[in-house]
A and B are shown apart, each in its own frame.
Chain A
Amino acid sequence: MVYGSNQVWAPWTVDDIHSKADLGRYRIRGMSTHQKITHFDDLTFLSTGLTRFPLEGYKEQCNTRVELGGLNAENPLVLETPIYITGMSWGALSANAKTALGKAASMVGTASCTGDGGMLPAEREASDKLIYQVLPSRYGLNPNHMATAQAIEIVVGQGAKPGTGGLLMGVKVLDEVAESRDLPPGIDQRSPARHPDWLGPDDLAIKIEQLREATDWKVPIHVKLGACRVADDVKLAAKAGADAIVIDSMVAGTGASAEILLDHSGIPTVPAIVLAREALREIGLYRKVSLIASGGIRNGADVAKALALGADAVAIGIAALIALNCNRDIPEANFEQEIGLPAGSCNRCHTGKCPVGIATQDPELVKRLDPDEGAERVANFLNSMTMELALLTRSLGKGDVKSLEPEDLAALTIEASAMARVPLVGTDKVFGM
């Protein structure tokens, strides 16, 4: 017990109640959950010693290339690094940000993804490997655009707000964005939670076939799930015919979500990967249907741990935006004055007043992000992560990131041991098994 502090009625809880008493509705913010969760930092690698020998950490060849969605597609998605840029909409992000992300992805041989709002032509031009999302809203969905994509992703749910649709405040639904989405300019857009043309997994199987037919069976069809009832959802998506399944955890980011959903729905990335892996293994499709993890991937160690737990690749959102300058005190910006929060703790993406020109449609703010310079930073970051991933992989005595496995890991906490299904350090016990 700590005198003077109250765990239940903490200052932020009191402030939350005051805010809702003023507001009369749920609160909205961007970024990701504030919950304390078990994450990749709770796992550690068991590098080589006498039981096996390492590869030369800095130089020796280590393959980072992965192929996704090869089960049915004539042209699987081949990435030079198992890290790609997740779907973030033009609307939530500026055109400059989308273009920079597409360019960065091309610079390192990976993919970027459209998001809820259709395809921005500049992103298509910039991104050699573009994943085209099909969301419940169908904003801007155009079969002519879809036919140019390197993969299709059916979004069933999003980790930051599973069970509901996207949110874009009216300040961002300006003329071009509104036109692209067929919406009245300036409205607070609340996207549908359900797809308009299918409801359950049996329908999804027909929908997947439809998209294959529309794209001549050439490109993989991904299904993206918010990580909740992972085992059953993954089995149903695989049975419906998905070539790849994206598991987006409760740690995943967003430009706007009801705070109550961000903090009180979904499960963390570590158990989500393990549950998905086991579900695929149970139905004989592990390593046949590709598994992509997203949510809170920050560095090469997180990528390596996600791969060791069973993912084939990861998708990043917030980390890529931070590389683009999110929350950076650039000379043109005055965070305190412009957004009311200091650089480093801004989560006000939904207000459209992003001081660094990323999460905004304000033409003056957008100018603060140069797409070429931004692309350079994101490409550097992707390269850094890939080098970190390769370094760790070599230190484990392996020359291919696909060889990473759960046996390479140990847990630093009992909770992590139970969730990751790896032994607690200093013991040979896997908790919960």
Chain B
Amino acid sequence: MNRSIKAAVAEGVDEIVIKNPAARHNIAVGIRQSCKIMIEGSVGYYTASQLDGPEVSIVGNAGWALGENLMSGKITLSKNAGASVGASMRGGEMFVGGSAGARAGISMKGGTLLIGGDSGFLTGFMMQKGRIIVCGSVGDAAGDSMYEGTIYVGADVGSLGADAKYEEPTEDELIELWAELQRSGVDGKPRFRKIVSQKKLYHYDTLERLERTLI
């Protein structure tokens, strides 16, 4: 199917509709040209992953690792996403209309991941850059071992992960976040909590005698 999509895009087709995906894995993988792909139905693992450019819209639920390693483009999911949504994404935008499973935005390196509902355990685990916006609640260990980037949470936080801390968002940030919600069709203006890195795990505390003379 992916080879057919790539061939169609190469021939100049710019809008592709996939009907009855039957929750198959690996639909719309590795498309590196601009185009629009509409998937009508629920999909399995790795849907719309390793993309650079396309706009993908899915009407239904998605399995693990939706939008993994997204470079650029936009992914919209109408319902719920499984674990590891937006894993290691480096750019682009993702919108999940429902809730997401564990490890949303894990190892994220750029872009914006917006989740209309809740997200699970280890949201933003080892995140490096980018923004995760969760309109509902997040599970335990939010932002564990994150390097940089920001997690905004609209409701409750189960617990913070290692080296994560709360920071007060500015009014300008909130206004920008609310505008973003409005653009994605999400109602409400939650007072977001902001999670960032404490940066206490950036360095080993000590060096060996010999290392001290070298580093």
**Interface residue tally on A, bucketed by range:** 35 or more
Contacts of B129 in A (CB 8 A): 182
The answer to whether B69 and A209 touch across the interface, beta carbons within 8 angstroms, is no
The answer to whether B128 and A183 touch across the interface, beta carbons within 8 angstroms, is yes
Give Cα A183 to B128, complex, Å.
Answer: 6
Give Cα A186 to B207, complex, Å.
Answer: 15
Instruction: Scan residues 101-145 of chain B and give those whose CB is less than 8 A from a CB of chain A.
Output: 103, 106-107, 109-110, 125-126, 128-129
The answer to whether B128 and A351 touch across the interface, beta carbons within 8 angstroms, is no
The answer to whether B29 and A214 touch across the interface, beta carbons within 8 angstroms, is yes
Interface size on B, residues (CB 8 A): 48
Give Cα A19 to B210, complex, Å.
Answer: 10
In the complex, what's the smallest C-beta–C-beta distance from B59 to chain A, in angstroms? 22
Question: What per-residue 1/0 map shows which CB atoms of A332-348 lie under 8 Å from chain B?
Answer: 00000001100000001
Given known contacts A19-B209, A183-B147, is B52 in contact with A196 (CB within 8 Å)? no
The answer to whether A214 and B50 touch across the interface, beta carbons within 8 angstroms, is yes
Give Cα A157 to B24, complex, Å.
Answer: 29
Given known contacts A143-B52, A206-B45, A215-B30, is B214 in contact with A351 (CB within 8 Å)? yes
The answer to whether B205 and A188 touch across the interface, beta carbons within 8 angstroms, is no
In the complex, what's the smallest C-beta–C-beta distance from B11 to chain A, in angstroms? 16
The answer to whether B214 and A23 touch across the interface, beta carbons within 8 angstroms, is no
Partner among A141, A181, A187 whose Cβ is within 8 Å of the Cβ of B203: A187
The answer to whether A203 and B32 touch across the interface, beta carbons within 8 angstroms, is no
Given known contacts A138-B88, A187-B147, A210-B50, is B215 in contact with A196 (CB within 8 Å)? no
In the complex, what's the smallest C-beta–C-beta distance from A202 to chain B, in angstroms? 10
Which residue of B3, B49, B148, B211 has the most chain A CB atoms within 10 A of its CB atom? B211
Question: What per-residue 1/0 map shows which CB atoms of A186-205 lie under 8 Å from chain B?
Answer: 11100010001110000100
Residue of A nearest to B27 (CB): A213
Interface of A is mostly: loop
The answer to whether B107 and A340 touch across the interface, beta carbons within 8 angstroms, is no
Give Cα A340 to B212, complex, Å.
Answer: 11
Contacts of A370 in B (CB 8 A): none
Instruction: Scan residues 1-46 of chain B and give those whose CB is less than 8 A from a CB of chain A.
Output: 2-3, 6, 25-26, 29-30, 32, 44-46
Contacts of A188 in B (CB 8 A): 202-204
Contacts of B109 in A (CB 8 A): 138, 182
Partner among B26, B45, B106, B215 whose Cβ is within 8 Å of the Cβ of A203: B45
In the complex, what's the smallest C-beta–C-beta distance from B138 to chain A, in angstroms? 17
In the complex, what's the smallest C-beta–C-beta distance from A341 to chain B, in angstroms? 8
The answer to whether A22 and B204 touch across the interface, beta carbons within 8 angstroms, is no
Does A121 make an interface contact (CB < 8 A)?
Answer: no
Interface of B is mostly: loop
The answer to whether A187 and B202 touch across the interface, beta carbons within 8 angstroms, is yes
Does A24 make an interface contact (CB < 8 A)?
Answer: yes
Give Cα A58 to B29, complex, Å.
Answer: 51
Does B95 make an interface contact (CB < 8 A)?
Answer: no
Which residue of B3, B64, B69 has the most chain A CB atoms within 10 A of its CB atom? B69
Does B71 make an interface contact (CB < 8 A)?
Answer: yes
Residue of B nearest to A26 (CB): B204
Give Cα A294 to B55, complex, Å.
Answer: 42
Contacts of A352 in B (CB 8 A): 215
Residue of A nearest to B109 (CB): A182
Does A171 make an interface contact (CB < 8 A)?
Answer: yes
The answer to whether A142 and B71 touch across the interface, beta carbons within 8 angstroms, is yes
Give Cα A408 to B30, complex, Å.
Answer: 46
Partner among B128, B208, B215 whose Cβ is within 8 Å of the Cβ of A27: B208
Does B153 make an interface contact (CB < 8 A)?
Answer: no
The answer to whether B106 and A196 touch across the interface, beta carbons within 8 angstroms, is yes
Give Cα A229 to B3, complex, Å.
Answer: 37
The answer to whether A197 and B46 touch across the interface, beta carbons within 8 angstroms, is yes
Does B90 make an interface contact (CB < 8 A)?
Answer: yes
Does B170 make an interface contact (CB < 8 A)?
Answer: no
In the complex, what's the smallest C-beta–C-beta distance from B166 to chain A, in angstroms? 20
Instruction: Scan residues 192-206 of chain B and give those whose CB is less than 8 A from a CB of chain A.
Output: 202-206
The answer to whether A196 and B87 touch across the interface, beta carbons within 8 angstroms, is yes
Does B94 make an interface contact (CB < 8 A)?
Answer: no
The answer to whether A147 and B203 touch across the interface, beta carbons within 8 angstroms, is no
Residue of A nearest to B25 (CB): A206
In the complex, what's the smallest C-beta–C-beta distance from B82 to chain A, in angstroms? 10
The answer to whether A197 and B64 touch across the interface, beta carbons within 8 angstroms, is yes
The answer to whether A25 and B205 touch across the interface, beta carbons within 8 angstroms, is yes
Give Cα A137 to B106, complex, Å.
Answer: 10
Does A397 make an interface contact (CB < 8 A)?
Answer: no
Partner among B65, B148, B206, B213 whose Cβ is within 8 Å of the Cβ of A23: B206
Give Cα A269 to B42, complex, Å.
Answer: 46
Partner among B46, B65, B88, B215 whose Cβ is within 8 Å of the Cβ of A169: B215
4 nearest A-B pairs in the assembled complex, by CB-CB distance: A214-B30, A197-B65, A182-B109, A196-B87
